[in-house]
């Protein structure tokens, strides 16, 4: 059956426009601005609703200094395609560079996201960007370190945030230090800094000074590569670059004099591989001051070792966060490969002593205390799901096999690691000894030993041994997804602490499955933003599981949306109702058009 003539004509025009856009895109990448401009204008004349043509024309106009015309074309492009990250970021960067961001906000859709910490952040309304995606999904920044920093900082403290991005740490620090404290936030990307300023204004925070400078090893100017994911923007080679900005560079030593810094409590450095230069530009600062420093070590191998060694040359010891106890423990360059780390901490001995006095840091593992015989029983009885543990408590009390006796003892050591009656070094020793007991007997393929596996996985996560935990979880997830049953002869201590308060009520299999998949999700992907089509089955598997929480539902909805699928929820799904663990219900209602009438 032949197509009508007008439909044939429309398809021919569409193909011709697509060919011209490709030619314009190629010309733009090759620097042939005249050809790119001609092709873009021809597309606009024949297809005036094609956003990429306006975006290409705007980039040509910007390159030749015709900034006002470029802004108008970017504005049209963003109105036609508000969810295009390239167009969105290009327009925002241009308007910020022209000091016309207040005007630009009128065309740029933004989101105000409420977080569990009580703060609110204003971010791009782009589900393709890391910060927006993660904050909607988890209602917190994904790094455990941010909660630790919130414990470190106190009212009246002074903090520095280098590489502030949209402000997860700056806003957290602002709340912690209060009106008498001060936070200096350095964010080179003017558009990204504009979001931070909006968030600060939104929450009436007047104790943060935002500076559009890149911290480096010299004062001057440099090219800053702006990525669609602002977390990846860098003075070096960035990924997903959409624009380049000329930004001022400064140093810690220069700022210390100019801003009269003294008694800095905390310094965060996140400069996407530029950390060495920041340290080189702060020799006097690091000598005069004694802050706790948090720095990113995303790059593996020698780059990590160089940073640890550089701090050591300044007299700063390095530490990593122990998630389960919420303390810092020592780490040196020789042991970096043994743990999965995104951030490290460094400080001098005097700062370490102050943190030790607050139970926030230890310098060595303590002596193993004497095991309290009743500790295991008290721990199990203290769980909110203790009704389901009655048989286990009785059986363990009469344990006569080696594995069961070891398991009972391991529960006792774990209980003591959580005891506020013991010093932190001894609690750490208890946790390490607990892991050493459980590892030889943990076997998820043996139904009798599944309780050993769940406690062992919990302990490894508390210790920050992410790879070891994932190694234990992976075959179990594979078996679950293949339809294999997971018989559980005894109620188990859950992998995730949130399940401590949930009684399986006879549904121990579903309870355990939710435990395993949620733990796997958080430690393999950290967010469903990193998952792809094959992993969708993992998230879909929990859809009918009554123990799954709203965060997993949000993860699934975001992943399905990213993969091009419609939402698979009903109007009465809890994700569309406001709750303490679902603070942004309005977004989900609006995003997926659920009728709440």
Whether 563 and 576 map to the same domain: the answer is yes
Are 462 and 438 in contact by the 8 Å Cβ rule? The answer is no
**Quick one: pLDDT band at residue 487, thresholds 50, 70, 90?**
low
* Distance, CA of 134 to CA of 140 (rounded, Å): 7
Question: Is residue 169 assigned to a domain?
Answer: no
| pLDDT confidence of residue 337 | 64
> Do 555 and 571 share a domain, yes or no?
yes
235 falls within a domain: no
The per-residue pLDDT for range 256-270, each reduced to its tens digit, is 999 999 999 999 999
pLDDT at position 417, please? Answer: 97
Q: Tens digit of pLDDT for each residue in 205-233?
A: 999 999 999 999 999 998 888 877 777 77
Q: Mean pLDDT, to the nearest integer, of 135-158? A: 97
Which run of H or E residues covers position 589?
helix 585-592
| pLDDT confidence of residue 442 | 92
pLDDT, average across residues 230-244: 70
pLDDT on residue 593: 66
- At residue 452 the predicted structure's pLDDT band, cuts being 50, 70 and 90, is very high
Do 412 and 482 belong together in one domain? yes
Q: E-strand spans in 253-401? A: 266-269, 292-296, 317-322, 327-330, 343-347
For residue 55, give its domain range: 7-81
User: Is residue 484 pLDDT above 60, yes or no?
Assistant: yes
Give the tens place of pLDDT for each residue, 64-97: 999 999 999 999 999 999 989 999 999 999 999 9
Give the count of beta carbons closer than 10 Å to the beta carbon of residue 476.
Answer: 24
Can you give the three-state secondary structure of 54-87, one letter per residue?
Answer: HHHHHHHHHHCCCHHHHHHHHHHHHHHCCCCHHH
Evaluate if residue 11 carries a pLDDT over 60: no
Residue 339 has pLDDT above 80, yes or no: no
pLDDT at residue 435 tops 80: yes
Is there a domain that residue 501 lies in? yes
For 560-572, what is the mean pLDDT? 90
Task: Please count the residues of the chain.
Answer: 597
For tokens 């791009």, name the residue: 124
Domain count for the chain, please give it. Answer: 4
The reply to whether 334 and 391 lie within a common domain is: no
> What is the Cα 71 distance to its own chain's centre?
32
Instruction: Specify which of 258-267, 485-494, 526-535 reaches the highest per-range mean pLDDT.
Output: 258-267
- Residue pair 93/191 in contact by the 8 Å Cβ criterion: yes
Residue after which a domain boundary falls, among 56, 81, 106: 81
Run of H or E including 103: helix 101-104
- Residue 137 is predicted with a pLDDT of 97
Can you tell me the distance from the alpha carbon of 1 to that of 13, in angstroms, rounded to the nearest whole number? 21
My answer on whether 302 and 414 are in the same domain is no
Name the pLDDT band for 486 (thresholds 50, 70, 90).
Answer: low
Q: Sorting pLDDT into bands at 50, 70 and 90, what band is 572?
A: confident
DSSP state, residue 523: I
Residues 354 and 399 in one domain: no
* CB of 167 closer than 8 Å to CB of 143: no
Task: State yes or no: pLDDT of 597 exceeds 70.
Answer: no
The per-residue pLDDT for 555 is 95
| Cα gap 520→472, rounded to integer Å | 10
With bands split at pLDDT 50, 70 and 90, how would you rate the model's confidence at 299? Answer: low
What's the pTM?
A: 0.92
| In a domain? residue 122 | no
Residues 420 and 444 in one domain: yes
Q: Of the candidates 523, 186, 161, which has an alpha carbon nearest to the alpha carbon of residue 342?
A: 523
55 CB-contact burial (10 Å; exposed 0-12 / middle 13-18 / buried 19+): buried
Is residue 134 left, alpha or beta, with left meaning phi > 0 and alpha meaning psi from -120 to 50? alpha
Q: What is the CATH number of the domain that holds 50?
A: 1.25.40.10
Among 513, 545, 574, residue at a domain's last position: 513
Contact between 439 and 406 (Cβ < 8 Å): no
**Lowest-confidence segment of 26-35, 40-49, 222-231 by average pLDDT:** 222-231
Instruction: Give the per-residue pLDDT at 28.
Output: 87
Average of per-residue pLDDT across 517-539: 90
Q: Give the pLDDT band (50/70/90) at residue 594.
A: low
Residue with tokens 């167009």: 87
Strand 343-347's sheet: what is its strand order? 208-211, 182-186, 158-162, 266-269, 292-296, 343-347, 317-322, 327-330
Separation of alpha carbons 89 and 277, rounded Å: 27
What DSSP string describes 302-333?
HHHHHHHHHHHHTT-EEEEEETTTTEEEE--G
The per-residue pLDDT for 135 is 98
Query: How far apart are alpha carbons 318 and 338 in whole angstroms?
Result: 15
Q: Quick check: 44 pLDDT over 70?
A: yes
**Tens of pLDDT, residues 371-398:** 999 999 999 988 876 656 777 788 888 8
Q: Within this chain, do residues 507 and 593 fall inside the same structural domain, yes or no?
A: no
Asked if residue 405 belongs to a domain, the reply is: yes
Tell which wins on pLDDT, 415 or 40.
Answer: 415
Residue 247 within any structural domain of the chain: no
pLDDT tens, position by position, 307-322: 899 999 999 999 999 9
| More reliable by pLDDT, 189 or 486 | 189
Predicted pLDDT of residue 248: 93
Beta strands in 116-205 (DSSP E): 120-124, 158-162, 182-186
Say if residue 587 is in the same domain as residue 453: no
Whole-number Cα distances in Å, 97 to 93, 185, 246: 6, 19, 9
CA–CA distance, 574 with 422 (Å, rounded to integer): 41
Residues 443, 578: one domain? Answer: no
Q: How far apart are CA 162 and CA 392, in angstroms?
A: 51
Token pair in block for residue 330: 């020592």
For the chain, give the percent of residues with pLDDT over 90: 65
Residues 489, 414 share a domain = yes
- Nearest 5°: the CA angle 43, 47, 50 is 85
Residue 252, in any domain of the structure? no
| Residue 537 DSSP SS3 | helix
Q: Does some domain include residue 261?
A: no
- Considering the domain architecture, whether residues 319 and 412 belong to the same structural domain is answered as no
Phi-psi region of 239 (alpha: psi -120 to 50; beta: other; left: phi over 0): beta
The per-residue pLDDT for 273 is 82
The DSSP H or E segment spanning 462 is helix 450-462
Check whether 7 has a pLDDT greater than 60: no
Question: Coil, helix or strand for 493?
Answer: coil
| Average pLDDT of the chain to the nearest whole number | 90
First to last CA, the chain: 45
Residue 340 has pLDDT above 90, yes or no: no
CA-CA distance, 224 to 247, in Å (whole number)?
Answer: 6
What per-residue confidence (pLDDT) applies to 289? Answer: 97
R_g (Cα) of the chain, nearest Å: 27
Band of residue 108 on the pLDDT scale cut at 50, 70, 90: very high
Q: Is the pLDDT of residue 496 over 90?
A: yes
End residue of a domain, out of 32, 61, 81? 81
Name the band, by pLDDT with cuts 50, 70 and 90, for residue 551. very high
| Bridge partners (DSSP) listed for residue 269 | 162, 295
Q: Which of 173-177, 236-240, 564-568 has the highest mean pLDDT?
A: 173-177
Q: Which residue(s) pair with 184 in the sheet?
A: 160, 209
């Amino acid at each position: 059956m032949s197509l009508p003539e007008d439909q044939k004509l429309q398809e021919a025009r569409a193909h011709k426009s697509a060919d011209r856009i490709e030619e314009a895109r190629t010309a733009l990448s090759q620097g042939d601005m005249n050809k790119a401009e001609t092709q873009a204008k021809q597309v606009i004349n024949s297809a005036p609703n094609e956003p990429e043509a306006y975006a290409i024309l705007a980039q040509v106009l910007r390159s030749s200094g015709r900034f006002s015309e470029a802004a108008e074309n970017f504005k049209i492009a963003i109105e036609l395609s508000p969810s295009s990250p390239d167009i969105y970021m290009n327009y925002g960067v241009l308007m910020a560079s022209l000091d016309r961001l207040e005007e630009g906000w009128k065309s740029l859709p933004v989101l105000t996201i409420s977080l569990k910490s009580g703060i609110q952040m204003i971010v791009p309304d782009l589900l393709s960007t890391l910060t927006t995606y993660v904050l909607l999904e988890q209602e917190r920044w994904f790094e455990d370190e941010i909660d630790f920093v919130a414990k470190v900082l106190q009212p009246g403290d002074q903090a520095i945030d280098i590489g502030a991005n949209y402000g997860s740490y700056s806003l957290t620090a602002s709340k912690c230090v209060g009106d008498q404290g001060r936070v200096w936030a350095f964010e080179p990307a003017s558009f990204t800094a504009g979001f931070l300023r909006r968030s600060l204004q939104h929450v009436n925070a007047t104790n943060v000074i935002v500076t559009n400078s890149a911290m480096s090893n010299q004062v001057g100017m440099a090219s800053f590569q702006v990525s669609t994911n602002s977390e990846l923007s860098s003075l070096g080679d960035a990924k997903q670059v959409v624009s380049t900005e000329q930004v001022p560079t400064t140093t810690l030593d220069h700022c210390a004099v100019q801003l009269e810094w003294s008694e800095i409590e905390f310094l965060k450095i996140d400069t996407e591989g530029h950390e060495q230069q920041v340290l080189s530009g702060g020799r006097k600062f690091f000598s005069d001051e004694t802050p706790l420093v948090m720095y990113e070590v995303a790059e593996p191998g020698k780059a990590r070792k160089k940073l640890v060694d550089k701090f050591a040359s300044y007299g700063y010891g390095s530490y990593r966060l122990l998630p389960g106890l919420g303390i810092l423990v020592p780490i040196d360059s020789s042991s970096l490969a043994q743990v999965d780390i995104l951030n490290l901490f460094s400080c001098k001995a005097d700062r370490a002593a102050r943190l030790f006095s607050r139970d926030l840091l230890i310098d060595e593992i303590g002596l193993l205390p004497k095991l309290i015989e009743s500790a295991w029983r008290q721990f199990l009885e203290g769980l909110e799901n203790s009704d389901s543990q009655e048989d286990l408590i009785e059986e363990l009390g009469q344990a006569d096999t080696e594995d069961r006796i070891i398991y009972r003892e391991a529960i006792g050591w774990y209980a003591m690691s959580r005891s506020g009656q013991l010093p932190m070094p001894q609690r750490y020793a208890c946790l390490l000894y607990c892991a050493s007991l459980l590892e030889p007997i943990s076997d998820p393929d043996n139904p009798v030993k599944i309780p050993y596996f769940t406690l062992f996985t919990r302990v490894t996560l508390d210790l920050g041994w992410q790879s070891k935990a994932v190694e234990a979880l992976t075959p179990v997830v594979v078996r679950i997804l293949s339809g294999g049953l997971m018989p559980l002869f005894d109620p188990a201590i859950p992998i995730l602490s949130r399940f401590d308060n949930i009684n399986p009520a006879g549904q121990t299999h579903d309870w355990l499955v939710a435990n395993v998949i949620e733990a796997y999700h958080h430690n393999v992907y950290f967010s469903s933003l990193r998952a792809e089509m094959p992993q969708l089955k993992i998230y879909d598997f929990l859809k009918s599981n009554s123990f799954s929480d709203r965060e997993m539902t949000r993860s699934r909805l975001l992943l399905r949306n990213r993969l091009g699928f419609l939402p698979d929820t009903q109007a009465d799904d809890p994700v569309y109702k406001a709750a303490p663990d679902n603070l942004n219900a309005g977004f989900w209602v609006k995003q997926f058009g659920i009728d709440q009438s």
